[in-house]
């Protein structure tokens, strides 16, 4: 059983769909439990996977209301666990992991908690911070995406049985709706960034960096793929920087693989990351990458100077502009890195990652086994 708030757009949501499909094809009975209904789904589930909606999504007003809402969530989830009787329950992200541990207490199943972002970058209330410290030591395993997050959890949530399992890279990518055709380039080069239009993704920093070098690289354009709350702010920044004819924001697309194939360089400007799915996809598609060396994530994917560049210090716009300019102006260096970037297809292959999950399943199902 996989427990997650929703299947709307996001890395953990997509991983839920991927993991569920893989386990179902391996012969497991898979149930996905969400708080939100299917109206917000961005990732369809494999046919044959059961979907149960708790109907408990929505923000609460005030601490008492929030506490009561979470108690209801725990009891509803507990009733589902009693009815389905899973061997293992996988909580996706902090809050779902905590709810799963609480709901499964005393029942004959084991819970695996997961962290998909680096905890110091999370915006969690004191309540959820305390509940994580209570819940994770009671989980059979806590899965982190990166070694940096695993180290943080070991230090700050003592008693947690932590292991590291990265996301598997998706390649080749299936096309889904909405399908948006990349425009004809007519000999122009495309710098591509993909992600939710959110402050964490640092697109404001990227726009400032691109503005600093755009006039020196007149044959390059920048495309930001994704949707989110910062669209109007970013659009205003584009206008203010005089980049309206050089930067496009087509929104969320379902055929992102086609955009990778028709781009020349990938950039990840995130202030914080877990393990970037888009970075893996871009490199698997044969793009060299320039990424901020934020606290966790990119450094576990990009091999600096081999298949991309890690920009340090993180959030340094001048450094980002310099590294982008270097690769944009040097096609031979860029193409050599791109040829090596496809190594992520093996380094983060589904076979490797699923072997790690299988071992976690075996370990978690054995009450006497420790990390």
Span 341-345, average pLDDT: 99
Span 238-246, average pLDDT: 98
Residue 176 above 90 pLDDT? no
Residues in Cβ contact with 218 at an 8 Å cutoff, skipping those fewer than 6 apart: none
Residues in Cβ contact with 49 at an 8 Å cutoff, skipping those fewer than 6 apart: 20, 21, 24, 30, 31, 32
Residue 369 above 60 pLDDT? no
Q: What is the mean pLDDT of the chain?
A: 95
- At 368 the pLDDT is 58
- Whether 210 and 247 have beta carbons less than 8 Å apart is answered as yes
Model pLDDT for residues 277-286, shown as the tens digit of each residue: 999 999 999 9
Residue 62: band (very low, low, confident or very high) from pLDDT cuts 50, 70, 90? confident
Residues in Cβ contact with 130 at an 8 Å cutoff, skipping those fewer than 6 apart: none
Residue 8 above 60 pLDDT? yes
Q: What is the pTM of this model?
A: 0.89
- Angle, in degrees to the nearest 10, between helices 350-365 and 11-25: 80
**How many residues does this entry show for the chain?**
371
Model pLDDT for residues 84-109, shown as the tens digit of each residue: 999 999 999 999 999 999 999 999 99
Q: How far apart are CA 204 and CA 224, in angstroms?
A: 11
- At 371 the pLDDT is 43
Two tokens at 268?
A: 């990840």
3-state SS, one letter per residue, for the chain = CEEECCCCCCHHHHHHHHHHHHHHHCCCCCEEEECCCHHHCCCCCCCCCEEEECCCCCCCCCHHHHHHHHHHHHHHHHHHHHHHCCCEEEECCHHHHHHHHHHHCCCCCEEEEEECCCHHHCCCCHHHHHHHHHHHHHCCEEEECCHHHHHHHHHHCCCCCEEECCCCCCCCCCCCCCCCCCCCCCCCEEEEEECCCCHHHCHHHHHHHHHHHHHHCCCEEEEEECCCCCHHHHHHHHHHCCCCCCEEEEECCCCHHHHHHCCCEEEECCCCCCCCHHHHHHHHCCCCEEEECCCCCHHHCCCECCCEEEECCCCCHHHHHHHHHHHHHCHHHHHHHHHHHCCHHHHCCHHHHHHHHHHHHHHHHCCCCCC
Residue 36: band (very low, low, confident or very high) from pLDDT cuts 50, 70, 90? very high
Model pLDDT for residues 119-130, shown as the tens digit of each residue: 998 889 999 999
Beta bridge partners of 290: 267, 309
- At 370 the pLDDT is 47
- Whether 27 and 46 have beta carbons less than 8 Å apart is answered as no
Span 37-54, average pLDDT: 94
Span 172-194, average pLDDT: 95
- Whether 111 and 100 have beta carbons less than 8 Å apart is answered as yes
Going edge to edge, which strands form the sheet with 189-194? 247-251, 220-225, 189-194, 265-268, 289-292, 308-311
The dihedral of CA 145, 149, 155, 158: what is its sign? negative
6-20, 44-58, 96-110, 202-216: least confidently modelled range: 6-20
- Scored b (16 or more CB within 10 A) or e, 115-154 reads bbbbbebeeeeeebeebbeebbeebbbbbbbbebbbebbb
Model pLDDT for residues 296-309, shown as the tens digit of each residue: 999 999 999 999 99
Q: How far apart are CA 351 and CA 30, in angstroms?
A: 19
Span 187-212, average pLDDT: 98
Residue 113 CB burial class (10 angstroms; 0-12, 13-18, ≥19): buried
What are the structural domains, with CATH classification, of the chain? 2-167+349-365 (3.40.50.2000), 189-347 (3.40.50.2000)
């Amino acid at each position: 059983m996989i427990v997650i708030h929703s299947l709307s757009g996001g890395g953990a949501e997509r991983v839920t769909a991927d993991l569920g499909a893989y386990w179902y094809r391996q012969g497991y009975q898979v149930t996905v439990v969400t708080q939100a209904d299917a109206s917000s789904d961005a990732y369809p589930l494999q046919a044959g996977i059961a979907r149960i909606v708790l109907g408990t999504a929505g923000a609460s007003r005030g601490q008492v209301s929030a506490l009561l809402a979470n108690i209801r969530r725990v009891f509803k989830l507990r009733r589902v666990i009693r009815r389905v009787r899973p061997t293992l329950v996988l909580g996706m992200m902090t809050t779902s992991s905590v709810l799963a541990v609480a709901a499964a207490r005393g029942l004959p199943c084991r819970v695996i908690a997961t962290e998909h972002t680096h905890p110091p970058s999370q915006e969690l209330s004191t309540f959820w911070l305390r509940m994580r410290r209570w819940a994770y030591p009671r989980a059979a395993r806590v899965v982190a995406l990166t070694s940096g997050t695993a180290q943080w959890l070991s230090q700050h949530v003592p008693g947690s049985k932590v292991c590291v399992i990265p996301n598997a890279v998706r390649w080749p990518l299936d096309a889904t709706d909405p399908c948006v055709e990349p425009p004809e380039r007519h000999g122009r080069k495309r710098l591509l960034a993909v992600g939710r239009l959110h402050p964490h993704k640092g697109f404001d920093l990227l726009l400032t960096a691109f503005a600093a070098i755009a006039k020196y690289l007149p044959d390059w354009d920048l495309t930001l793929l994704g949707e989110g709350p910062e669209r109007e702010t970013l659009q205003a920044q584009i206008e203010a920087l005089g980049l309206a004819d050089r930067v496009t924001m087509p929104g969320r697309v379902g055929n992102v693989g086609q955009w990778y194939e028709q781009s020349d360089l990938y950039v990840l400007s995130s202030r914080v990351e877990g393990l970037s799915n888009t970075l893996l996809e871009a490199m698997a598609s044969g793009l060299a990458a320039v990424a901020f060396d934020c606290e966790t994530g990119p450094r576990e994917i990009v091999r600096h100077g081999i298949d991309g560049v890690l920009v340090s210090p993180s959030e340094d716009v001048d450094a980002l502009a310099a590294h982008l300019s270097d690769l944009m102006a040097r096609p031979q260096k860029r193409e050599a890195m791109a040829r090596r970037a496809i190594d992520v297809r093996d380094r983060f292959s589904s076979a490797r990652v699923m072997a790690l999950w299988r071992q976690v399943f075996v370990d978690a199902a054995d009450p006497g086994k420790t990390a």
